[in-house]
Chains A and B, each alone.
Chain A
């Protein structure tokens, strides 16, 4: 169903006793996109995913998953999605291969050839008992089971925790393949570089609310670029710039996107010898939100 959102959440509230984990959360994930769900520990990412899985029942608000109700239609919806938890716990007496098959069969089977390809790519030994696996290897088991099931929607909760950089690269390649095949991915993470590399759109969550959402381009638009320039002479006055620092003929400052044209014109008049303009990284975006509101 292209056009219909894969995930549609509005005004979601969930409390655990006196603690309010979700406080009117809104989230929109379009079909076919890789959506980054970004926030630090304890912001409510996992609670949101667990509500989408029908493991928790929301106190109020609306949540829709693949056009269905996540609590009521849990079983039907789970046939169409695959989930990788942040902390994978497996049955100690089962082998890794058995766990992969079991997890995939629980949601309706897997593609055996793709399973083999993934096992090789992730360099997993499927004959070892789950008890003997390290955290990273348990993560691989859950990832392989989820990816090999070729589900419409992947819900991934900090899926690279415990993976080494090589395996992280393998994971990124797999997610890109999934996107190319038209699947939807909701990737919860606090690793900004991962989200920046993979995601089409991003929602930033803080204290149970989404405080920012959009494409990376749109989000960057909301914040300042950093400009470094080597000039013939430093102008006395530069309107609309922040955090200006001058060292001889070299100046560095931040500027709001809508003032950028005006400022560049002034720089040109001052005689530009060298110019670097860097858009804000996601990290800066993220830090700005969390530092400002702390």
Chain B
């Protein structure tokens, strides 16, 4: 562990902009929600009414989780702000840990550090110290701000610590995935797959009322701490113990392996290139096919799970005579199932945009690593090289959304006894998300082509659009602010009418952004 303190200082110096940005974003999202709820639902009757509405809408619970106490402002805040906050701290933790462990090894910097009097465990230890420290700081800030807003102290402490330990748990997950593979990209991918699975289990469990599913997910634990609703402190200990266990596994793996090596020994490759590897298109396919396959599988699993749950969403309500009555007025169980499916598909669209942005930014990674130089020194026009990666970025979401939609339609169709209709209608509904996904890809390309230093803004935009969709209505943000998000313009399908106009102009906007990006890229110096 020698040298850990110096490495911590180095990490803090490297992330002196990134860390405050994460801390600010997460605390602001939660505090904003709490103060908005206090302002918009000042009376207890209003709050209880809101709670009843949520109770009838499994689609909402899939996104946010259950309401444990709708009578208090704290209870509603915990209901609304837990999922966004836990997902954000989990993302932050995964990126931070990978960035300071595996990415350092892959770049060779860890070798230089390792040649100094620095212990074998110092690199992961420093990364964990920084990431867990930041999670603790976020938790403490949440406790302070929530108490300052006048919420009960015990609830604030439970809520803040629930966010902290969820972040910690994902620090542990990422510490392990960073040990498994030799590449930072794969390490991030594996940790994010765990996060995605955790989200799916919780969303499925909360929407269908199958408690065991929610308990299988660390994101579900954060809610089941029941902040402001009869706190269950032992759940915090459960998460903390799991974290400790994960860290022990990571440390054991780290002590056993060579620097720079993954769990699997490097395989040999062919001595000659296959015929398809003959230009930028073959290369882009080769570089991105693994990611595309992973995303497609993940979407197939997610689609199948949500498809399996859709029917239960209707059944939960049907069992309750009083709710069923209310339900008939809003369009029957069918409308409820459609609403659930539309919400889930909207979520899939947001997540698929992650693939699109990542895929466009592959251009940036290739350029900054000088590998683009090797390609462009060949007889390859810049526009063709960019087009190769853009085809994956634009075509990939077509494939993964179709897969998600088909899987959802197939399973839901089998359960509801009408596979043929649902299969195609849900695949089509998933495709309706494409224009907004493409706008994000276009935005990434515009940034890369014209302002390559600001490419991370594409990720920031995705997070902001996601938060607008999640919190915009609760915070009662002005409509024009909510409409800044391309996802806000998409028709709600299934259930709603498909309007062509927004799809066409979003698609046109995406094309224009890409066009401007490519034009800028052809004009500028290469890094």
Q: Is the pair B379, A89 in contact by a Cβ cutoff of 8 Å?
A: no
Residue B277 interfacial (CB < 8 Å) = yes
Residue A98 interfacial (CB < 8 Å) = yes
Q: Is the pair B381, A142 in contact by a Cβ cutoff of 8 Å?
A: no
**Measured between alpha carbons, how far is A106 from B282 in the docked complex, in Å?**
11
Number of A residues, CB within 8 Å of B: 43
Contact of A102 among B268, B277, B373 (CB under 8 A): B277
CB-nearest residue of chain B relative to A55? B526
Residue A207 interfacial (CB < 8 Å) = no
CB-nearest residue of chain B relative to A103? B374
Which stretch in A34-42, A128-136, A233-241, A257-265 binds the other chain? A128-136
Residue A74 interfacial (CB < 8 Å) = yes
Given contacts A87-B370, A89-B370, A94-B286, contact A107 B270 (CB under 8 A): no
Q: Is the pair A126, B380 in contact by a Cβ cutoff of 8 Å?
A: no
Residues of B close to A88: CB separation below 8 A: 374
Which stretch in A75-83, A179-187, A221-229, A266-274 binds the other chain? A75-83
**Measured between alpha carbons, how far is A142 from B523 in the docked complex, in Å?**
27
Given contacts A85-B373, A106-B378, contact A127 B268 (CB under 8 A): yes
Contact of A98 among B270, B378, B381 (CB under 8 A): B270
Chain B contacts with A in 178-207, Cβ cutoff 8 A: 182-183
CB-nearest residue of chain A relative to B367? A55
Residue A63 interfacial (CB < 8 Å) = no
**Measured between alpha carbons, how far is A79 from B379 in the docked complex, in Å?**
5
Contact of B378 among A96, A99, A107, A131 (CB under 8 A): A107
Contact of A55 among B267, B268, B376 (CB under 8 A): B376
Shortest CB–CB separation between residue A97 and chain B, in angstroms?
4
Residues of B close to A95: CB separation below 8 A: 268-271
Given contacts A78-B379, A129-B266, A132-B266, contact A89 B273 (CB under 8 A): no
Q: Which of A98, A108, A127 gathers most chain B CB within 10 Å?
A: A98
CB-nearest residue of chain B relative to A149? B378
A interface footprint on B351-381 (CB within 8 Å = 1, 0 otherwise) = 0000000000000000001110111111111
Chain A contacts with B in 31-51, Cβ cutoff 8 A: 50
Residues of B close to A55: CB separation below 8 A: 373, 376-377, 525-526
Residue B115 interfacial (CB < 8 Å) = no
**Measured between alpha carbons, how far is A53 from B525 in the docked complex, in Å?**
11
Q: Is the pair A105, B371 in contact by a Cβ cutoff of 8 Å?
A: no
**Measured between alpha carbons, how far is A57 from B524 in the docked complex, in Å?**
8
**Measured between alpha carbons, how far is A51 from B13 in the docked complex, in Å?**
35
Shortest CB–CB separation between residue A111 and chain B, in angstroms?
14
Residue B136 interfacial (CB < 8 Å) = no
**Measured between alpha carbons, how far is A64 from B272 in the docked complex, in Å?**
35
Residue B278 interfacial (CB < 8 Å) = yes
Q: Is the pair A89, B269 in contact by a Cβ cutoff of 8 Å?
A: no
CB-nearest residue of chain B relative to A130? B269
Given contacts A95-B269, A101-B272, A127-B269, contact A106 B380 (CB under 8 A): yes
Residue A290 interfacial (CB < 8 Å) = no
Contact of B377 among A53, A56, A132 (CB under 8 A): A53
Q: Is the pair A91, B371 in contact by a Cβ cutoff of 8 Å?
A: yes
Given contacts A78-B377, A89-B374, A101-B277, contact A127 B270 (CB under 8 A): yes
Residues of A close to B32: CB separation below 8 A: none
Residues of B close to A90: CB separation below 8 A: 371, 374
**Measured between alpha carbons, how far is A277 from B374 in the docked complex, in Å?**
46
Shortest CB–CB separation between residue B257 and chain A, in angstroms?
15
Contact of A75 among B274, B379, B525 (CB under 8 A): B379
Residues of B close to A50: CB separation below 8 A: 373, 526
Given contacts A78-B378, A87-B370, contact A94 B269 (CB under 8 A): yes
Shortest CB–CB separation between residue B267 and chain A, in angstroms?
7
Given contacts A87-B370, A106-B379, contact A97 B270 (CB under 8 A): yes
Category for how many chain B residues contact A: 35 or more
**Measured between alpha carbons, how far is A95 from B269 in the docked complex, in Å?**
5
**Measured between alpha carbons, how far is A60 from B369 in the docked complex, in Å?**
28
Residues of B close to A92: CB separation below 8 A: 182-183
Given contacts A85-B374, A98-B277, A129-B268, contact A93 B287 (CB under 8 A): yes
Q: Is the pair A89, B381 in contact by a Cβ cutoff of 8 Å?
A: no
Residue B279 interfacial (CB < 8 Å) = yes
Residues of A close to B380: CB separation below 8 A: 75, 78, 106
**Measured between alpha carbons, how far is A94 from B369 in the docked complex, in Å?**
15
Q: Is the pair B376, A53 in contact by a Cβ cutoff of 8 Å?
A: yes
Residues of A close to B283: CB separation below 8 A: 91, 102
Contact of B279 among A75, A87, A106, A128 (CB under 8 A): A106
Residues of A close to B381: CB separation below 8 A: 74-75
CB-nearest residue of chain A relative to B277? A102
Contact of B271 among A82, A108, A126 (CB under 8 A): A126
**Measured between alpha carbons, how far is A83 from B381 in the docked complex, in Å?**
16
Residues of B close to A94: CB separation below 8 A: 269, 273, 277, 286
Q: Is the pair B273, A97 in contact by a Cβ cutoff of 8 Å?
A: yes
**Measured between alpha carbons, how far is A75 from B374 in the docked complex, in Å?**
13
Contact of A76 among B269, B282, B290, B379 (CB under 8 A): B379
Residues of B close to A87: CB separation below 8 A: 370
Q: Is the pair A105, B269 in contact by a Cβ cutoff of 8 Å?
A: no
Residues of B close to A57: CB separation below 8 A: 523, 525
Given contacts A85-B370, A87-B370, contact A127 B376 (CB under 8 A): no
Residues of B close to A99: CB separation below 8 A: 273
A interface footprint on B439-482 (CB within 8 Å = 1, 0 otherwise) = 00000000000000000000000000000000000000000000
**Measured between alpha carbons, how far is A50 from B283 in the docked complex, in Å?**
22
Shortest CB–CB separation between residue A207 and chain B, in angstroms?
20
**Measured between alpha carbons, how far is A93 from B371 in the docked complex, in Å?**
13
**Measured between alpha carbons, how far is A50 from B370 in the docked complex, in Å?**
12
Residues of A close to B370: CB separation below 8 A: 85, 87, 89
A interface footprint on B224-264 (CB within 8 Å = 1, 0 otherwise) = 00000000000000000000000000000000000000000
Shortest CB–CB separation between residue B259 and chain A, in angstroms?
13
Shortest CB–CB separation between residue B195 and chain A, in angstroms?
24
Shortest CB–CB separation between residue A263 and chain B, in angstroms?
51
**Measured between alpha carbons, how far is A238 from B139 in the docked complex, in Å?**
86
Residues of A close to B376: CB separation below 8 A: 53-55, 74, 78
A interface footprint on B484-527 (CB within 8 Å = 1, 0 otherwise) = 00000000000000000000000000000000000000010110
Shortest CB–CB separation between residue B415 and chain A, in angstroms?
40
Q: Is the pair B277, A89 in contact by a Cβ cutoff of 8 Å?
A: no
**Measured between alpha carbons, how far is A83 from B374 in the docked complex, in Å?**
8
Q: Is the pair B269, A142 in contact by a Cβ cutoff of 8 Å?
A: no
Q: Is the pair B273, A98 in contact by a Cβ cutoff of 8 Å?
A: yes
**Measured between alpha carbons, how far is A231 from B89 in the docked complex, in Å?**
86
**Measured between alpha carbons, how far is A128 from B268 in the docked complex, in Å?**
5
**Measured between alpha carbons, how far is A127 from B270 in the docked complex, in Å?**
5
CB-nearest residue of chain A relative to B381? A75
Contact residues of B with A, CB < 8 Å? Answer: 182-183, 266-274, 277-280, 282-283, 286-287, 290, 369-371, 373-381, 523, 525-526
Can you report 10 A-B residue pairs in the complex whose CB atoms are below 8 A from each other? A74-B381, A85-B374, A90-B371, A91-B286, A96-B269, A101-B273, A105-B273, A105-B277, A107-B377, A108-B378
Please name 7 further chain A to chain B contacts, defined as beta carbons within 8 Å, in addition to the given A106-B279, A127-B268, sorted by A numbering. A53-B376, A74-B381, A78-B377, A89-B371, A99-B273, A106-B278, A106-B380
Contact residues of A with B, CB < 8 Å? Answer: 50, 53-57, 74-76, 78-79, 81-83, 85, 87-103, 105-108, 126-129, 131-132, 142
5 smallest A-B Cβ distances: which pairs? A95-B269, A106-B378, A101-B273, A97-B271, A98-B273
